[in-house]
């Protein structure tokens, strides 16, 4: 049992103190969700092995009353297994699969696109002692980090439309976990927390419908996501010719609209009929 209701978490943070790692972010939320206080061990990229007494090269790591647990996913499973009477993080194979699917989609389609646009910011914000290591390990062959990030004002406006699936999903539910947040929310929120930790320019527009869920997520557990060093995510300025950042007044489709009889499909059927007529006369 966590002593004094506290769990120790090894942080991976930037110079100003904000957590950078999405995995550490998800773990912070997981510990808070279980109702524990976090004893944060500060630190950056240099000296992880020394800080953790040789236990790990990667973070997060937690220590629960002397027991070390590594890896953000395994930590969430450990917390559910060890504390079944406290609010559940994952709880079923279905939630596990859906969480991994949503996270994989978000990382592959959105975070991967954002990364080249913040990679110099990321390096510029690390602790002095980490500068050389992060520069060398994050620089791709043949280009400097400055060259990778240059021209981002042309690329950033192309990324918000890629979040449409998450926006549509969150239209019908306050949280990905349903009425209350669960580990699915935390894994997805971790992407936005990471971006807010590193991006020196907003990456989403002020009026993005996803903002409501993001802001409520950052506010959870006494404002867990509102720590010093976090930058505004919303405020991306669009220019002439940039794509619409999100679908306004989306009509929905067969997945999202309920068929409650012919009245509910009347408008679509009228459109189908008009098309059939056009084709017949063509």
Q: Which residues are near ligand GSH by CB under 6 A?
A: 12, 21, 23, 45, 58-60, 71-73
Separation of alpha carbons 202 and 250, rounded Å? 24
The nearest distance, CB 72 to ligand GSH, in angstroms, is 3
Nearer to ligand GSH, 12 or 198 (CB): 12
For the beta carbon of residue 138, count every other beta carbon within 10 angstroms: 15
Least distance CB 112 / ligand GSH (angstroms): 14
Q: CB–CB of 117/152 below 8 Å? A: yes
CB of 173 to ligand GSH, least distance (A): 26
Q: Can you tell me which residue has the tokens 């068929």?
A: 259
Q: Write out 167-227 in H/E/C secondary structure.
A: HHHHHCCCECCECCCCHHHHHHHHHHHHHHHHCCCCCECCCCCCHHHHHHHHHHHHHCCCC
Q: How far is the CB of 281 from ligand GSH (least distance, A)?
A: 60
Between strands 37-41 and 67-70, the pairing is: unpaired
- The one-character DSSP state at 34 is T
Nearer to ligand GSH, 8 or 21 (CB): 21
Closest approach of Cβ 257 to ligand GSH, in Å?
A: 37
Looking at the Cβ atoms of 59 and 224, the one nearer to ligand GSH is 59
Question: Is residue 120 within 8 Å of residue 145, measured between CB atoms?
Answer: yes
Nearer to ligand GSH, 18 or 21 (CB): 21
Q: Can you tell me the distance from the alpha carbon of 224 to that of 28, in angstroms, rounded to the nearest whole number?
A: 8
Cβ 14 to ligand GSH, closest distance in Å?
12
Question: Is the CB of 43 or the CB of 160 nearer to ligand GSH?
Answer: 43
Angle formed by the axes of helices 93-106 and 183-198, nearest 10°: 20
Q: How far is the CB of 46 from ligand GSH (least distance, A)?
A: 9
Residue closer to ligand GSH by CB (options 45, 246) is 45
Is the previous residue joined to 158 through a cis bond, with omega within 30 degrees of 0?
A: no
The Cα 155–Cα 175 span in angstroms is: 29
For ligand GSH, the closer CB: 9 or 220: 9
Quote the CA–CA distance of 196 and 164 in Å, as a whole number. Answer: 19
Nearest to 75 by CA among 31, 45, 40: 31
- CB-nearer residue toward ligand GSH: 135 or 265: 135
CB of 277 to ligand GSH, least distance (A): 56
């Amino acid at each position: 049992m966590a002593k004094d209701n506290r769990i120790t978490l090894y942080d991976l943070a930037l110079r100003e103190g904000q957590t950078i790692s999405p995995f550490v972010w998800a773990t912070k939320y997981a510990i808070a969700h279980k109702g524990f206080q976090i004893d944060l061990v500060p630190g950056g990229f240099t000296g992880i092995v020394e800080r953790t007494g040789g236990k790990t090269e990667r973070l997060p790591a937690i220590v629960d009353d002397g027991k070390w647990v590594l890896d953000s996913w395994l930590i969430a499973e450990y917390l559910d297994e060890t504390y079944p009477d406290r609010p559940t993080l994952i709880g079923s194979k279905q939630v596990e699969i859906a969480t991994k699917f949503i996270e994989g989609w978000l990382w592959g389609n959105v975070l991967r696109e954002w990364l080249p646009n913040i990679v110099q910011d990321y390096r510029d914000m690390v602790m002095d002692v980490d500068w050389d290591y992060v520069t060398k390990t994050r620089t791709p062959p043949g280009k400097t980090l400055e060259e990778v990030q240059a021209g981002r004002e042309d690329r950033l406006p192309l990324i918000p439309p890629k979040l449409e699936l998450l926006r549509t999903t969150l239209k019908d539910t306050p949280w990905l976990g349903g009425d209350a947040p669960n580990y699915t929310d935390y894994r997805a929120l971790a992407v936005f927390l990471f971006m807010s930790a590193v991006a020196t320019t907003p990456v989403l527009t002020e009026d993005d419908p996803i903002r409501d869920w993001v802001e409520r997520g950052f506010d959870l557990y006494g404002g867990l996501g509102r720590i010093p060093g976090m930058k505004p995510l919303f405020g991306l300025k669009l220019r002439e010719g940039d794509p619409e950042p999100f679908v306004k007044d989306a009509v929905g489709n067969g997945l999202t609209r309920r068929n409650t009889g012919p009245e509910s499909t009347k408008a679509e059927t009228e459109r189908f009929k008009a098309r059939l007529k056009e084709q017949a006369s063509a």
